[in-house]
Amino acid sequence: MTGEASVGVQAGDFVYLAISFTDPRVEAPNGLSVVHPFRDSFALLVGAGACPDLEEQLYGAEKGDTGSIEIMWNDPPDRAAGGAEPIGEMDIQVQAPARSIDNLLPDWLATIARQEGIETPHAFLNVSADRLADEYMLDSDRLEQFQSELVQKFEQSTLAEYEITDVYRWQAHASETTGQGESTEDSNGPTTASGPVVDEAYPKAPHDSWPMLGGTSQLTSATRSSIPTELPTTKWEADLEETIGFAPVVAETTVIVGDDSGRVVAIHRATGNWAWSCEVGASLATPLAYRDGTVYAGTVDGTVVSIDVATGETNWTHEHGTAVYHIVPSEHGVLVRFSNGAISSLDPATGSVLWMQSEFSDHGATILFTDGVAITRSFGSLRAIDPESGVVTQFDTKTGTSQTPTGAVSNGKLFTGDGNDVVCRDLAIGGGESVSSSDILWRTSINEPVQITPTVSDSRLTIVTNTGRVHGLDTESGDVRWSTDLCDDPLTSSVTDGDTVLVSSTSTTVFALFAATGSVRWKVARSAGVASSPTVASGTVYIADADGTVQARD
């Protein structure tokens, strides 16, 4: 069954694209899409993730629609520099839409370029700097410097135009023939009729919320929401007038933050107005966590506070005596790691202790879940814990120092650090067997300490550092795909939707990067230091500043 889609392109559709390349070296790059054997076009399965940016741009489009894309590639080692051979089998990345002059040139120069009818950075490279300098009374040397900088960024990229020549409603065909393809879950879970199928092996935060540190109990910091690809505008700002030390939690209709005065505040997502505030008695020591209508706060004096997210009323408090380091609410109980290394499981209804393990060291280790097992680190080794009984079921050999993050789990693999190395481990949980060093799938050095939990989305792994550098790795091979120097300041942990990576410097800037290349999509300068990583829900970015300001951008 072929023909145009009646409601626009959806996930599961095969879309045929006629693509014209402006660079003669680009003929039929295999990395772009599958070339249809009987048509002069490319066939792309929307939702499969082969070209995520282009697939997202195609959602809702119809037969006959056109658009532009940017194609970026890496030369193979054996290709002669400056050669004119077809790109063919190169490592192709597709960016849609193409990078804009508004994000790459100063505002004043981008305005002049628009007045000249220049819409793309590639077109700006071909303009005479002398002519612009004479016409607008500018410094020609400075203009040439801008052009030279762009040449370096775009020497391995080109523009292309596409037209949708046909759409194959594979999804509808599958439904007719097999009875499958109908709606399966709500917007927070996998779906086949209204969006891309989400494999639960690749954990991501729900589209409309950000419930805890790392977005999920696997600490992947990946989201099903889309991150804005263009510079988002300010929707609202709220001022708490107290220092905020951790990322906001997004739950139901509110954004929830805690400050150093010992106060938890809920802000209406739609307006930025306060919904409620709750005093917890001391400064927060860890990010907030949300589950089933309840938000949990942990303080520096060792108190865990359960708060009703609808009213702001306290449900219960639990006093441990040493600072709370990490809270993970789960179906088995509220797991809490304290600064003395102890781990407790608390009853979510009453706060009573279900079990406690005090044998752990490495107080700076987080807790994550995979295959029904809680994993943390002690004495530099990974420990697996039965979340119902608290029994330690297995442990492995050394995985790093006390400054190494426990890591993030995706597709049965643990991504963590060991000194200057990023390490991928195969997690074969069960059977009571120890995980040995032979279960290391790969190890890659980035030549600087790995001290921040990696961010994982499908095949892409992002590592941020305390030196202002970000690295993009392949999850299967461990190969470093790109490295970007953003600034001289330490960076926060990152957040990704698979196509865009959000990260903040601890000074004043939030950056959005292309996940495929590491280049900057857009950035936002803040007046105060950025306290934590941004969070994302329903396409809105929430930023908490150290001076107490919370901002929503979309």
The phi, psi pair for 271, rounded to 5°, reads: -120, -25
Contact (Cβ atoms closer than 8 angstroms) between residue 239 and residue 523:
no
Instruction: Report the 10 Å Cβ neighbour count for 396.
Output: 21
| Whole-angstrom distance, CA of residue 513 vs CA of residue 501 | 5
Rounded to whole angstroms, what are the CA distances from 227 to 186, 482, 551? 20, 20, 15
Write b or e for each residue in 460-498: b if 16 or more Cβ atoms lie within 10 A of its Cβ, otherwise e: bbbbbbeebbbbbbebeebebbbebebbebbbbbbbbbb
Instruction: Give the three-state DSSP class for 453.
Output: coil
Q: How far apart are CA 243 and CA 546, in angstroms?
A: 5
d(CA 104, CA 526) in angstroms, rounded, equals 19
427's tokens: 């997690």
Q: Give the pLDDT of residue 547.
A: 84
CB 171 within 8 A of CB 183: no
Instruction: Chunk the chain into consecutive blocks of 10 residues (it has 554) and report each block's average pLDDT, rounded to whole numbers.
Output: 52 78 53 50 71 75 83 53 43 66 75 81 79 82 81 73 77 37 37 34 88 92 93 92 89 91 94 94 94 95 96 96 92 91 93 88 72 75 83 60 68 87 77 49 91 90 92 94 90 92 87 92 82 88 89 92
What pLDDT score does 350 carry?
97
pLDDT at res. 404:
54
Which positions ≥6 away from 507 have C-beta within 8 Å? 487, 489, 529, 530
- Give the other-Cβ count within 10 Å of 80's Cβ: 8
Half-sphere exposure of 143 (CA within 13 A, CB side): 22
Question: Residue 365's pLDDT is what?
Answer: 75
pLDDT at 79: 41
- The ranges assigned to domains in the chain are 13-72+98-142+152-168, 234-553
Whole-model pTM? 0.65
User: What is the reported pLDDT for 481?
Assistant: 93
Residues 397, 334: Cα–Cα separation, whole Å = 27
Protein fold of 234-553: Methylamine Dehydrogenase; Chain H (2.130.10)
348: tokens are 């979510």
Q: How many CB atoms lie within 10 A of CB 65?
A: 16
pLDDT at 23: 57
Q: Which helix (H) or strand (E) holds 93?
A: strand 91-95
How far is the C-alpha of 416 from the C-alpha of 12, rounded, in Å?
34
Buried b (16+ CB within 10 A) or exposed e, 101-136: bebbbeeebbebbeeeebebbbebeeeebeebbeee
Amino acid 277: pLDDT: 95
Neighbours of 306 (CB within 10 A): 22
